[in-house]
Amino acid sequence: MDSLTRIDAHQHFWRFDEAEYGWITPEMAVLRRDHLPGDLEPQLEQAGLHGSVAVQARQTLEEMRWLLQLAERHDFIRGVVGWVDLCDPDVERILEGFAGRAKLAGVRHVLQDEPDRRYMLREDFLRGIGTLARFNLAYDILIYAHQLPEALELVRLFPQQRFVLDHMAKPLIRDGILQPWEQNIRALAAHSNLYCKLSGLVTEADLNRWHTSDFRPYLDVVFDAFGPGRLMLGSDWPVCTLAGSYTRVINIVLDYLAGFDQKDRRAVLGLNAIEFYGLQSE
């Protein structure tokens, strides 16, 4: 694959159904419609990106099958992060049923919505995480900043498992608060099996009045903690459109990288995602 390939490592698709997507409230009018590959592909091209990773938005096997079908029909979808019930005693058998799907790159559970902060440390959940390496699957950690200590425990338990932290664990950008998020991020980043996505930032800021400078203190922390070799660009489209256009959101990271050398830019904008997820070429 061309080393210049640029990848959006985090986006979603859905056919909108109010019952299935209860978190999309009436105030989120821009999200209350279908968002499909034909809607994203021209925006990728306009922003100078060449492919994407489609990430689950519903916790169903049906959605994972649908995302994989989309990926088979659209070459620009380079990988899929789906969902399986990691607490299911039959999780290994379920994953075996997907073993032949080349674009299945990882799995995710919406940990941020679990009332129990230690859900990710349950014995049955940990057993499920322990099955992923057999299938060469990464795990996306979706949490809020206050869940970072539990995520640190999880990552420590599986030093050979590939993890990636979604949305930088949603720091409190709107309030300009760095601690204890920064301290916990630095502790997590000490584990080389954990990567981090530069995604989901605009929806943690003031949706209507954010400025690129709002994100710099948080980007400074993750670039210093992880280094350019373990960070990857992500849009969180279409959720990001609550706060701005696709290109404007992508440009937050592109502008930040303006002073970096070509090697580091290539890594963050595509190579890290390709290597981390084992993405296929076109």
pLDDT in tens, 191-230: 999 999 999 999 999 999 999 999 999 999 999 999 999 9
pTM for this structure?
0.96
Is the Cα dihedral 99, 63, 168, 102 positive or negative? positive
- The label of the residue with tokens 């995520």 reads 151
Q: Would you tell me how many other CB atoms lie within 10 Å of the CB of residue 187?
A: 17
pLDDT of residue 100: 84
Spans in the chain with pLDDT lower than 50? 1-3
Q: How far apart are CA 214 and CA 175, in angstroms?
A: 10
CB distance 107 to 86 below 8 Å: yes
CA distance 148 to 168: 10
The domains found in the chain, sorted by start residue, are 7-277 (3.20.20.140)
Q: How far apart are CA 235 and CA 178, in angstroms?
A: 22
Write down the pLDDT at residue 282: 58
Per the structure block, which two tokens stand in for 282? 């076109």
| Contact criterion met (CB below 8 Å) for 81 and 53 | yes
Query: What does the pLDDT read at residue 280?
Result: 77
pLDDT tens for each residue of 91-132: 999 999 998 899 999 999 999 999 999 999 999 999 999 999
Q: Within a 10 A sphere around the Cβ of 33, how many other Cβ atoms? A: 13
What is the greatest pairwise CA distance in the chain? 49
Question: Are the C-beta atoms of 107 and 84 separated by less than 8 Å?
Answer: yes
pLDDT at 137: 98
